[in-house]
Amino acid sequence: AMPEGVSHGASLREVHNLTDRSLHEAVMDTGLVECVRRVYLCKAMGHAGSDPFRAIVIEVLKEKETFRRAEMTDAAQLRKVNVSDTMYNRVVKDMCVSRGHNWMLKSGSETMP
Determine whether 83 is exposed, middle or buried from the number of CB atoms within 10 Å of its CB (0-12, 13-18, 19+): buried
**How does the average pLDDT of the chain come out, rounded?**
85
Three-state SS sequence of 32-93: CEEEECCEEEECCCCCCCCHHHHHHHHHHHHHCCEECHHHHHHHHHHCCCCCCHHHHHHHHH
The phi, psi pair for 83, rounded to 5°, reads -130, 115
In this prediction, residue 26 has a pLDDT band, given cuts at 50, 70 and 90, of: confident
Q: Which residues of 11-29 are buried (b: 16+ CB within 10 A; e: fewer)?
A: eeeeeeebeeeeeeeeeee
Mean pLDDT in residue range 4-21: 64
pTM given for the model: 0.76
Q: What pLDDT band is residue 10 in, cutting at 50, 70 and 90?
A: low
What pLDDT shows up at residue 2? 45
**How many residues belong to the chain?**
113
Tell me the domain boundaries of the chain. 45-108
What is the average per-residue pLDDT within 89-98? 95
